[in-house]
Amino acid sequence: MMCYTSGTTGRPKGVLYSHRSLCLHTLGTLISDVTGITERDTVLAVVPMFHANAWGMPFSAAVSGARQVMPGPHLDAASLVELFEGERVTMAAGVPTIWLGILQYLDANPTRHDLTPLRRMLVGGAAVPEPLIRAFQDRHGLHIQQGWGMTEMSPVGSVSKVTSDLADASSDVQFAYRAKAGLPLPFVEIRARRDDGTLAAWDGDSMGELEVRGPWVARAYYDAPESADRFTDDGWFRTGDIVTLDARGCITIQDRAKDLVKSGGEWISSVALEGALLAHPDVAEAVVIALPHPKWDERPVAVIVPRAGRAPTLESVRAHLAPSFAKWWLPDEVIIVASIPRSGTGKYLKNVLREEFRDRLTVFAASGSPASDQSATSPG
């Protein structure tokens, strides 16, 4: 079987899977602390099968004997929720943008549907913000489990589940943990490599590019010799994800390497800012992109879809973020849009936004706009 990468940061590349790797990946995902799918489950993957085999869920469901429901062409929130309810789905999977729409629908219709059979929602494909996890749990009693993986990994590499040593921890600690990418699956090795070639410490603070190795991790792209440097001779794959690893082996995705904001020689995580922005009362959807700046190389800009009837401003956004982030992390501008472009797999296309708005900050700087005054946001 062969699938292609999403192509959100470059040309899609083919990944060829062996029968052995698919079988091993299926067995790895069936572990209780991963998906835990059993014969009693009804599974619905709101993920295209061309996108990393729908995260392997069709195979996991078939091996366990679970009932499978296919979403069909109607992927709007109302249709999906009606399908969950009508088919008594117990486990569903999809990218965060799908679940954002479902959350907005459930908030507007809090008593219309009975989703009590839905025991777990596996969300991945992009970092899952803590406010989204909290909102589903607190307002609707629905449990999000974050997973991380890549097409090159067949695709599941790690999942986040509150482990026994955190069972008595506060809800804040547990929610923060669930917003991480979690622990690697059995047989998946991980490490993080810094720009200088050294390995990052497992201290929860040192950032580096995540490298993975394992029996269902690809060893090469199909007919793409220009990308051979992503794979090492001893089997490690360079993921392009910038992460921190803590002493327990828990992965926290800080950003894609191409999405990090490199401002004044320092790194700013767009993922961290996006997660915090979703807790802003005026914000329905948000992405943070790096735009060229004449002085600082790059600066963060927030592209926001507002909630109905709301109008977030640069001042309100910066005030919302200020308690949690250094001043130089705060966005230089807020751009209000009606919608954010997405790929065929539902991921936000930051490369399209970067191209559309690439001159935004340089124009501000040339005009003497206050947005070009970096005295309060200098990384130094």
pLDDT tens figures, 305-319 = 999 999 999 999 999
As annotated, the residues of the chain forming the CATH 3.40.50.12780 domain(s) are 2-256
Please compute the mean of the pLDDT values over residues 138-160 and round it to a whole number: 95
HSE-up (13 A, CA, CB side) for residue 285: 18
Q: Provide the pLDDT confidence category of residue 368 given band limits of 50, 70 and 90.
A: low
- The CATH code belonging to domain 261-371 is 3.30.300.30
Q: Which residue has the higher pLDDT, 259 or 80?
A: 80
Q: Provide the pLDDT confidence category of residue 361 given band limits of 50, 70 and 90.
A: confident
Confidence (pLDDT) at 255: 86
Please compute the mean of the pLDDT values over residues 146-156 and round it to a whole number: 93
Q: Which two three-digit tokens encode residue 105?
A: 């629908």
Q: Provide the pLDDT confidence category of residue 365 given band limits of 50, 70 and 90.
A: low
Confidence (pLDDT) at 176: 92
Confidence (pLDDT) at 10: 65
Say yes or no to pLDDT of 378 above 80: no
pTM for this structure?
A: 0.82
Q: Provide the pLDDT confidence category of residue 7 given band limits of 50, 70 and 90.
A: low
Beta strands in the chain (DSSP E): 2-4, 14-16, 42-45, 67-69, 91-94, 120-123, 144-149, 156-159, 183-184, 189-193, 208-213, 237-245, 251-256, 261-263, 266-268, 283-293, 297-306, 333-336
Contact 321, 350 (CB under 8 A): no
Please compute the mean of the pLDDT values over residues 362-379 and round it to a whole number: 48
Say yes or no to pLDDT of 125 above 90: no
Contact 275, 296 (CB under 8 A): no
Q: Provide the pLDDT confidence category of residue 129 given band limits of 50, 70 and 90.
A: confident
- Chosen CATH of 2-256 out of 3.40.50.1820, 3.30.70.270, 3.40.50.12780, 3.40.640.10: 3.40.50.12780
Confidence (pLDDT) at 375: 34
Closest CA to 289 of 302, 305, 304, 306: 302
- Active-site residues: which are they? 5, 152, 262, 267
Closest CA to 127 of 266, 273, 6: 273
Please compute the mean of the pLDDT values over residues 12-19 and round it to a whole number: 93
As annotated, the residues of the chain forming the CATH 3.30.300.30 domain(s) are 261-371
Say yes or no to pLDDT of 26 above 90: yes
Q: Which two three-digit tokens encode residue 65?
A: 């004997």
- 42-45 and 91-94 beta bridge pairing: parallel
In the chain, the percentage of residues whose pLDDT exceeds 70 is: 94
β-bridge mates for residue 43, sequence order? 68, 91
Residue 372: DSSP 8-state: G
